Chain A
Amino acid sequence: MVVKNCLLLCPVFVSAVSHSQITRLYSRFTSLDKGENGTLSREDFQRIPELAINPLGDRIINAFFPEGEDQVNFRGFMRTLAHFRPIEDNEKNKNPPTSEPLNSRTNKLLFAFRLYDLDRDDKISRDELLQVLRMMVGVNISDEQLGSIADRTIQEADTNGDNSISFSEFIKADDQRHERTWKHRLDTHIVTYVTAGVTNAGSTGTR
């Protein structure tokens, strides 16, 4: 019942995610929601142990919450996760998309880009890059060394010479990686395994 209501509330997701996937993710949502008020706060996310040790943990959590808000409902939760569904070929023929689908490669990369670009000026500046590097590398490395890595990275990616990485340059960097690994690494197996795991949903949802 609840799931059907959700489906009514968010028609845009009907094409993006399948029924059983929504069921499974909904049970995950409710298990995270300790306050049982239908929304998740930042503390609920921080309770996930692996996110605490993930270098990008805080930024990922922030990505779920829209500007200035502290609570996210199931719709928002799904909306963020729908970015990571694999692109399927048959989808393109079914519904001619009016706007670009959420899980297109560009939107996925935009999501990742926004994790770097905190001040939303559509550019990754040297400082923003340094912050991310510092998070990934830990505390033992000197600032100068990180600085030189950041400088070199910007130098390699920057084509228009503004000493920062714009979104199009970011896409180009991903092109290189994409060619080498020949697949959309931004897809996860979540949604392919989910269809099998409806009965497991309850047990894996709790920790």
Chain B
Amino acid sequence: CETNILYFFPMTRGNRTLTPEEEEDSQQHHNNTKAFPVLSFNFEHVRKPFEISLWILLALLMKLGFHLIPRVSHIVPESCLLIVVGLLVGGVIKALDSDASDTNSSVPVLNTKLFFLYLLPPIILDAGYFLPIRHFTENLGTILMFAVVGTLWNAFFIGGMMYGVCQIEAAQLGDVDLLSCLLFGSIISAVDPVAVLAVFEEIHINELLYILVFGESLLNDAVTVVLYHLFEEFSHAGTVTITDAFLGVICFFVVSLGGVMIGLIYGIVGAFTSRFTLHSRVIEPLFVFLYSYMAYLSAEVFHLSGIMSLIACGVAMRPYVEANISHKSYTTIKYFMKMWSSVSETLIFIFLGVSTVAGPHVWNWTFVIFTVILCLVSRVLGVVGLTFIINKFRIVKLTKKDQFIVAYGGLRGAIAFSLGFLLTDTHMKTMFLTAIITVIFFTVFVQGMTIRPLVELLAVKKKKETKRSINEEIHTQFLDHLLTGIEDVCGHYGHHHWKDKLNRFNKTYVKKCLISGERSTEPQLISFYNKMELRQAMMLVESGSLAVLPSLTSMQNIQPRDTVKQRVIPSISKRREEEIRKMLRSNLQKTRQRLRSYSRHDLMMDPFEEDLSEVKFRKQRVEMGRRVRLTETHLNVHNSLSFKGMLHCFY
């Protein structure tokens, strides 16, 4: 692997930095003649963190800047703009550096280790944790077909054709052998999740297409890993035997299933840990992040598919963790994940731009042009061919429009670049890298920019924005039960049968283990309803206007499940506590609370904030007073409890 140290700025030439003893010596020596230095400059001390922070700050400022120029950000997707910024920055650094004679280029490059260990995991974790499970499992067959068979087709087609191209005398590419071509094909064939996310996020396409392309980009990681290692081994060994090919197939299964298993194990352990975090709410989000990251790293140790491990961990952990953790932790997890993945994505694109400027390039017209053309052709052929087969098994067929979007959305990105970077240093490596960068630029710029007008032109269905209503939820569950029953009457073990079995198993065994307290037996309908009501109660309290009024009937029934006779607070569920707290706060005269001892580890509201919100609440008091009188009659709060006492307990 390449060097581990990143040189961000040109090393200061000429002045050798003094070692501490020498510095002290010179200082002491100067003590007699010079005054004690009040201000001194010591950059080396903080060099590394300083540079890292500066880069991230730059990336984020760029992101902000784009939105100040509305016209541009409408036409050009953010990823393109970031790459351009990267190009500019790289150009600037190179220009500053142009008088350097050392061979070590001091322009930072998208180092493979940096990419795979630090920049990629947050994005994948964010994607995996918030993966729409229902849509994913309903289309799993299609997604797997595209991911596995499609990627294999792409790799072999591109590799094979490129070998054919290399045989042409005029191209002067005679030294590129078949295995190298196949290796190149395997690197360039995989659809990249980062690029897909970046582009598709902005066009708000309907969920089916989104999950097809995105799911494919996630699941093809296993194929890419196996193919890459396979061809790399072969190109060193020189010959291929049947056993090697057979072992390759076995390796694929091991890599993918092994990765998923590791992810599941970490996910279950993480869910189990979250069961006990009742008293240390502040560190709850960290568990989620750390277990997921460990899953990724553990899979990478064994050369298994880290991406699939990360996805499996997130998917497995999520339902149980969300039932256990507090509302604040849920918000923290959500926003931290989004924040990290956003920063990562921005950094990746900027570094791509910078690396383009930095790296040595070998431009070979034939090679590059044919690569681009072949990528497009193989993608289209692959999608059309596979859809033809898949449509025989689908109830809802994929139309021509869908096929076009799926084919057009096959973007290549930074993963291809990093894999190319990992190749052993040969003349071919630089040529390959140049071609890879060209393909990436082409897909991100051309396809990324034109996909939005094409989506509009073809009138592809957009994402439905409304939230799920309780009506829909009941209806969906009802239909699930109905169809399961019908399938049982027919004696047919179909999709619904197995889903029902899994749900039942989940309810009787798994939930009891992994969810603490009374939430473990709560039916899905009830938890959905509670979440909805809580959301609405908070919306009502937080917004100044009362434009959205929930039904009186539902507000009437917000009550603690157990009657509160004494100060037995743990018997009230956390949700109820939240709701009661909100209601009370909005109506009570806020007495100055005694100063409690400050503790860094407690989540207390800032007293200034409390005052501000109190002013807001007082404005609503007339309306809220009426409401609360209605609800008070239903709240089973005993009069013996003073309100102040209750407030004390809640904090």
Contacts and interface: CB of A to CB of B under 8 A. Distances in A.
B164 interface: no
Interface stretch (A5-13, A54-62, A90-98, A99-107): A54-62
Contact of B481 (A45, A54, A147, A205): A54
A48 interface: yes
A177 B476 contact: yes
B639 to A, nearest CB: 21
A153 B461 CA distance: 28
A81 B486 CA distance: 8
B464 interface: yes
B478 A56 contact: yes
A205 B492 CA distance: 9
Interface residues of B, number: 54
Given A56-B481, A176-B469, A189 B525 contact: no
A149 B464 contact: no
Contact of B483 (A132, A179, A180, A186): A186
Interface string B466-484: 1011111011111101111
Nearest to B135: A181
Q: Which of A31, A50, A56, A194 has its CB near the most chain B CB atoms (within 10 A)?
A: A50
Contacts of A138: 523
A31 B490 CA distance: 11
A156 interface: yes
A190 B490 contact: yes
A151 B551 contact: yes
A136 B525 contact: yes
Contacts of B557: 144-145, 147-148
B495 A156 contact: no
Contacts of B470: 149, 152-153, 156
Given A54-B485, A60-B485, A188-B487, A148 B395 contact: no
A33 to B, nearest CB: 13
Q: Which of A45, A81, A132, A188 has its CB near the most chain B CB atoms (within 10 A)?
A: A188
Contacts of A54: 481, 484-485, 488, 500
Contacts of A186: 479, 482-483
B472 A182 contact: no
A3 interface: no
Interface string A34-69: 000000000001001011011111001000100000
A112 B479 contact: yes
A25 B490 contact: yes
B530 to A, nearest CB: 9
A49 B639 CA distance: 51
A133 interface: yes
A183 interface: yes
A157 interface: yes
A188 B493 CA distance: 11
B492 A180 contact: no
A207 B551 CA distance: 49
Contacts of B553: 148, 151-152, 155
A142 B485 contact: no
Nearest to B561: A142
A133 B474 contact: yes
B485 A193 contact: no
A185 B483 contact: yes
A177 B526 contact: no
A155 B551 contact: yes
Given A25-B490, A48-B489, A190-B494, A112 B395 contact: no
Given A56-B481, A192-B393, A149 B525 contact: yes
Contacts of B459: none
B580 to A, nearest CB: 16
B482 A141 contact: no
B518 to A, nearest CB: 9
Contact of A188 (B464, B472, B478, B486): B486
Contacts of B543: none
A109 B485 CA distance: 16
A179 B464 contact: yes
Nearest to A145: B557
B61 interface: no
B564 to A, nearest CB: 15
A50 B482 CA distance: 12
A28 B488 CA distance: 11
Nearest to A157: B471
Contacts of B559: 144
Nearest to A50: B488
Interface in A142-192: 142, 144-145, 147-149, 151-153, 155-157, 173-174, 176-177, 179-190, 192
A50 B472 CA distance: 25
Given A86-B395, A156-B469, A205-B491, A148 B482 contact: no
B521 interface: yes
B318 interface: no
Contacts of A60: 482, 485-486, 489
A140 interface: yes
Interface in B490-505: 490-497, 500, 504
Nearest to A45: B489
Contacts of A155: 551, 553
A50 B484 contact: yes
A55 B487 contact: no
Interface string B124-139: 0000000000110010
Nearest to A27: B491
A26 to B, nearest CB: 11
Interface string B546-561: 0000010110110101
A160 to B, nearest CB: 16
B395 A136 contact: no
A182 B491 contact: no
B515 to A, nearest CB: 14
B170 interface: no
Contacts of A207: 491
Nearest to A137: B523
Given A141-B523, A151-B551, A155-B551, A51 B478 contact: no
A115 interface: yes
Given A133-B474, A151-B553, A28 B395 contact: no
Interface string B172-215: 00000000000000000000000000000000001110000000
Q: Which of B208, B395, B464, B466 has its CB near the most chain A CB atoms (within 10 A)?
A: B395
A51 B485 contact: yes
A55 B525 contact: no
B375 to A, nearest CB: 30
Contacts of B442: none
Interface in B434-486: 461, 464, 466, 468-472, 474-479, 481-486
14 contacts: A48-B489, A55-B481, A56-B485, A84-B483, A147-B557, A173-B472, A182-B208, A182-B396, A183-B395, A183-B396, A186-B483, A187-B395, A193-B492, A204-B493
Interface of A: 25, 28, 31, 45, 48, 50-51, 53-57, 60, 64, 81, 84, 86, 112, 115-116, 132-133, 136-138, 140-142, 144-145, 147-149, 151-153, 155-157, 173-174, 176-177, 179-190, 192-194, 204-205, 207
Interface of B: 134-135, 138, 206-208, 393, 395-396, 461, 464, 466, 468-472, 474-479, 481-497, 500, 504, 521, 523, 525-526, 529, 551, 553-554, 556-557, 559, 561
Given A60-B486, A173-B472, 16 more contacts: A28-B490, A48-B489, A50-B500, A54-B488, A56-B485, A64-B489, A84-B486, A136-B525, A137-B523, A140-B521, A145-B557, A153-B470, A153-B471, A182-B207, A188-B496, A190-B492
3 interchain residue pairs of minimum CB distance: A148-B557, A50-B488, A183-B396
